[in-house]
């Protein structure tokens, strides 16, 4: 009887199932932590935060969009994090900006793949990627750049990018609000800058610059967020 039901196989299978359940539970735990980090609904005020945590949470929440699809390979996320101090900001709003920029980059790579255009004619590897780099530009400003190797943006579109309701996406898939909201958050709310650098066929790069200190100058601890 034991031979019939192949006890060894069942034992091995049970171990695999337990392993899968463990991994599933870990992933759920990570997602819950990320969601909490991302929304920070309890933190409506300016707080000192490690900006890398917000970026990592955003990436984790977008995993499902980064996976391989029928029309393109998986999107590689390249992190190039510098050493940053804790930043005083409205964290849930800044995370919203990361989310908008990441979603746009993924949408662009969605378009770019299939008849995907490599960056230069001799590029051998047309894998889609998003690169996120952070640096302290001087003692008072951090720069966060989110770049993709998608189809890029035409000059005429570039001049209207931050206008409310400007979209090139089909009806129903884009409201044209992501960048105008992001602009308000970065420029008006955080006294920073949001710029785009792109030409058709050369991918796109968005650079956010925000001051390290907002209204919290006196309580800034000067601690380092490290990586
Ligand atoms: N990384 C990018 N590559 C190419 N085009 C981009 C990129 N980011 C933004 N765009 C262009 O800018 C337009 C405006 O972006 P925005 O985020 O404001 O609106 P949307 O993505 O169209 O809609 P929504 O964000 O409201 O869902 C997009 O429709 C797209 O044409
Ligand atoms: Mg958008």
The finding on whether 168 has its CB within 6 A of some atom of ligand 1 is yes
For ligand 1, the distance from its centroid to the CA atom of residue 131, given in whole angstroms, is 17
On whether the 40-214 domain is CATH 1.10.238.10, my answer is: no
Q: Is the beta carbon of 209 within 6 A of some atom in ligand 1?
A: no
List Cα–Cα distances, 50 to 7, 31, 141, 144, 153, in angstroms: 51, 18, 14, 13, 31
Q: Is the pTM of this model over 0.85?
A: no
Quick check: helix, strand or coil at residue 169?
coil
SS3 content of the chain, % helix, strand, coil (to 5): 40, 20, 40
User: Residue 69: its pLDDT value, please?
Assistant: 86
DSSP 8-state code for residue 100? H
164 close to ligand 1 (CB < 6 Angstrom): no
Q: In this predicted model, what pLDDT tens digit does every residue of 172-225 receive, in sequence order?
A: 888 899 999 999 999 999 999 999 998 777 889 999 999 998 764 433 444 344
Q: For 96-113, what is each residue's pLDDT tens digit?
A: 999 999 999 999 998 864
Domain boundaries defined on the chain: 1-39, 40-214
Establish how many alpha carbons lie within 13 A of residue 59's alpha carbon, considering only the half-sphere containing its beta carbon.
16
Question: Which pLDDT value is given to residue 210?
Answer: 96
The CA distance from 113 to 128, in Å, is 8
Q: Is 93 in the pocket of ligand 1 (CB under 6 A)?
A: no
Distance 185 CA to ligand 2 centre (A): 14
């Amino acid at each position: 009887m034991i031979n019939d039901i192949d006890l060894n196989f069942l034992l091995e299978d049970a171990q695999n199932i337990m392993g899968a359940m463990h991994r599933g539970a870990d992933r759920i735990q990570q997602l819950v932590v990320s969601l909490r980090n991302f929304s920070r609904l309890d933190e409506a005020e300016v707080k000192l935060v490690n900006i890398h945590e917000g970026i990592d949470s955003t990436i984790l929440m977008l995993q499902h969009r980064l996976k391989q699809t029928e029309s393109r390979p998986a999107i590689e996320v390249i992190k190039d994090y510098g050493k940053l101090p804790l930043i005083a900001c409205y964290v849930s709003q800044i995370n919203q900006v990361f989310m908008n920029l990441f979603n746009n980059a993924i949408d662009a790579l969605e378009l770019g793949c299939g008849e995907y255009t490599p960056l230069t004619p001799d590029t051998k590897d047309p894998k889609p990627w998003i690169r996120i780099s952070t640096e302290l530009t001087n003692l008072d400003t951090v720069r966060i750049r989110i770049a993709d190797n998608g189809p890029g943006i035409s000059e005429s579109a570039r001049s209207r990018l931050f206008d409310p309701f400007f979209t090139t996406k089909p009806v129903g898939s884009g409201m044209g609000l992501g960048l105008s909201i992001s602009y308000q958050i970065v420029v008006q709310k955080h006294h920073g800058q949001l710029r785009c650098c792109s030409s058709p066929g050369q991918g796109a790069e968005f650079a956010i610059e925000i001051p390290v200190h907002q209204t919290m100058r006196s309580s800034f601890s000067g601690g380092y967020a490290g990586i």
